[in-house]
Structure 1
Amino acid sequence: MLFPNIPLYVLTIGGDSRNVGYIMAVYTISAMSIRPAAGWLVDKYSRNLVMIAGILLMCLTCLLYYWADNIAIMTGIRVLHGLVFGLASTAIATIVVDSVPVSRLNEGMGYFGLTSTLSMAVAPVIGFWLVGNFDYNMLFTGITAMTGLAFLSSWLVKRVKIPDVKHNGSGQGLLSHLVEKSALPAAWIMFLLAAVYGALLCYISLYAVERGIDNVGLFFTAIALTMFVTRPIAGRWADSGGANQVLLAGHLVIAAGMFTTGISGTMNGFILAGLLNGIGFGACMPVLQAQAVMRTPIHRRGAATGTFFALFDLGIGLGTILWGYIAAASSYQIMYFSTLIPLALALGLYLRFNLYRAQA
C-alpha cells in the first residue's frame, strides 16, 4: 500500500524527482546494510525471534509516518523502516528456505514469492483508494494495522531446529561470517535486475502522470497477476532441469516489458508492459533466490539469504538514485529505455557465471 504512494507523497510535502529518488533509495540501502548482520543473527540465534522482533519494530515505525511532514523527517523514517524491514524479511525468507526440500527449492521459492505478488496485486489498489477517498493519514493507519496483523501471525510460525555449529563462517574474519560467497554469483545478477525492477516500483506512478494516465494501480495488478501465475510454473520447470531456459527467457521478456513501458502512452500499453514485466521477473526471481541458497549448508542459509537480498536492495537503492537523475535530466521515457543497459549486463553475467552448467 505504501510503496507506490511514496513518490506522490514526497511531491505533496515539497519534494521533486531527485528527492523521490533519494527517499526511495535510502529505504532499500538501509535494508541492504542490515541484511548481512540479520543473516548472521538468524544463523546464530532463533530465526523466529529475529522475525518477531523485526515485525514488531516495523509496526512501531509505521506509526512515525503521521509526523512525516517534510523531506528531512521522511528521509529519517524511511531509513529506520528499511532497517527493520531488512531484519524481518531476512528471517522470514530463511525460515521458508528451511521448510522446503532442496529438490523442490526453485518451486518452493516460487510459491513463497506468491505471497508478495498477491500483496502487490491488491495493496497498491487499496493504497491509492485510501489516499483518493480519505488522505495519507488513513494510508498510514492502514499500513500500521496490516503490520500489526503480521506481528500477531508471526507467533504461529513453526520453529525449525538448526544444527549447533561452532564456526559460522568459511573463514576467520568478520566478512566471512556476514557474507556467504556461494550466493554471490546469483546475487550479483539479482543486483542488476533489481536496478531495473526499481525503476518500475519507484517511478511508474510519476511516469503515468507524465503520460496522462489516471489509474496506474492497474499496472501493478497486471504485473502481480502474471508474477502470480509465472512463479510456480518457472520454479517447477527449473527443478526439472530447465533453469537455463527459465533465466534466459525471463531476461528477454523483461527486455520486451521495459521497452513496452518506454513507448506506452495509453492505459492498455501500461497493462501490456505490466504483464510482460510480471512474466519476466516472475521467472527470474525465484530461480536466482533458490540458486543463492541451494549449495549452502543449513547453518549458513541465513548468511546466504542476507547476501542475496543485500545486493537486491542495493540494486534497487542505487538504481532509484540513478533513474531519478536520468529522469530529471531527460524524461521518464528515456529513463525506462536506459534500463535495458543493466538488463544486458545481467544477461552477460549470467552467461559468464553459467549458474546452472551442472543441469544444462
Structure 2
Amino acid sequence: MSDLADAEVWLRLALTPGLGSISLLRLLQAFGTPGDVLSASPASLSKVISKRVVSDLLAYEHEPAVVAALNWLEQPTNQLVTLADDLYPSRLLETVDPPPVLYVKGNPSLLSAPSVAVVGSRNATPQGLENAENFSAELSAQGWCIVSGLALGIDAAAHKGGLAGTGSTVAVVGTGLDIVYPARNHALAHEVAQKGALVSEFPLGTPAKAGHFPRRNRIISGLARGTLVVEAALASGSLITAREAVEQGREVFAIPGSIHSPLSKGCHALIKQGAKLVETAADIVEELGDLPGAVQSSTHSAVDQIEHELLKYMGYDLVDVDTLCNRASLTPDKVCAMLLELELAGAVAALPGGRYQRLGQH
C-alpha cells in the first residue's frame, strides 16, 4: 500500500484494542470500506461489535501506535498489505480467518508466489536440520518459495535452504516486525528481509507471547499449497500447522524417521492420518506439480559408500562406537578413524554422549 492516507485508516481499525480480525471483517462486510466504518454512527457500529469496542474505535487513544506504524511505513522496504490490495495473497482469502492487515518487510510479491511451508521441531536433530535445508533448497531451486516461522531448528534450516534458490523464502513471525524473535536468528531475519520477506499480522512492538505462535501458523499454512513436516513430537506446534493445512484444504507431507525417536512420532502420526510420506523433494513436486521453467536438481553424496562400508552398519538411528565395532567387526581405532573421515565429509554428525548419526542420503 503506497498511500499513507489509506494506510492510516486501515491502521486505525487494525490497532483498535479489542477489535480482532473476525470483528474487523464483520465491520467491513457491514459498512464497506474502513473509511465508511469510521464515519458510521455509534448506534450502527454497536449492532456489529460491542459498545466497549465502539468506544475504543471512535476514540484516539491508539493514535501514537498509528503514527509509529506510519513512520515505519516510510522506510522503502516496509509495506502494509490489506484486504483491499492487489498484493494480498489470494490463498489467504480462501481461509476461514484471513488477517485484514499484514505488515511486510521485504518483497510482498512473494506472498502470492507458489510456495511450500516447511515446519518442524525447534530442538531438531542434525539429520532433521539437513533434511529441512536440503528439501527447501531443492524446492527453491525449482521456483518454490519456502514459507516457515523463523523459529530455531527446522524453521531456520528451511529459510536457509529457501534463500539458496530462486524461489526464496517468507518468514511469518509471531511478533511485531520491529522485534526479532528468537534473537539468535537476528542475522537470518536480516537476510530474509533483504532477499525474501518477513510477515506479521501483529502490530509493531508486539512481544513474543505463547498464544501468538499457534495463531500465526494458520498464515504459514494458508500461504502455501502444501505443508511439509520434517520432525515433530506428538505435542509439537508443527502439528497445529499441519491441522490448519488440512482444514484449509491444502496438502500435508511428512518425512518418516526412526521408530525410536520422539521427533518422529508426530510425522508418523500424520502419515497414519493420511499425510503423504516423502523421501525426496521430488515426492512433493509430484503431488503439487512442476512449475513452469523448473530446474531439476539433486543432491549428490560426497562420500563413496563402497569406500566407507561403515555407513551400512550405522543405519539412521543414533549409535555409539562400541555398537559399530560389534556390528562391523572392526577395532575401536579403525571405527573412530572412519567416523572422523565421514564427519569431515558431512556424512555423519557427532552428538553428545559419544554417539553418532548418519546424515542425509549418504
- Tell me the TM-score normalised to structure 2 length: 0.24
Higher Cα radius of gyration = 2
Q: Which has the higher helix share?
A: 1
